[in-house]
Amino acid sequence: MPFPSREHLLAGRELRRRGGGIIPLDTVLYPIFTEAGLKMRNRIIWHFEHGLHCSRRFSGRYETVIWFTKTDKYTFSLDPVRVPQKYPGKKYFKTYSHLNGLEFLMVHEPALWTEIQDVIAAVDAEVCKTSLRSICEASCLLCR
């Protein structure tokens, strides 16, 4: 029997006819490889940029690779396939402060915090108050 067999490949087509969705080829091939005595080590979704732009199908920017071995004794060398870091000097993603916004400004931006306090103190709250009645009257004038 050829490997993979035609029957196995057509099984996915039959599942689709019965209301199934798209079946990835690797899920159809997995049982064939395991029946042959191979052991799956990794299923890798390999993404690459600048793939072909398609208009009548999805653009091919992903490849699925299933890695099998014959036995538990195998050699894996990561260095030949290692992808260089995009930002080599970067040590960590981002640190977040335990301080809330007010505390953060007081500790890390004291000049800005002082300026904010001065602006708040200069605002006359009575002048800025607006009653609901005056808003309704203004909107009614616009409607006329």
Token readout for 124 is 């006359």
Cα→Cα distances 102→30, 80, 96, 106, 110, Å? 56, 50, 15, 6, 10
- Classify the phi-psi angles of 79: left when phi > 0, otherwise alpha if psi is within -120 to 50, otherwise beta: alpha
Give pLDDT tens digits along the chain (144 positions): 445 566 766 666 666 566 656 667 777 788 888 889 999 998 888 877 776 777 777 777 778 888 899 999 999 888 888 888 888 887 766 666 666 777 778 888 889 888 888 888 887 777 766 666 666 666 555 555
pLDDT at position 18 is 60
Q: How far apart are CA 110 and CA 104, in angstroms?
A: 9
* 65 SS3 class: strand
Report strand pairing: 62-69 vs 39-47.
antiparallel
pTM listed for this prediction: 0.43
pLDDT at position 2 is 46
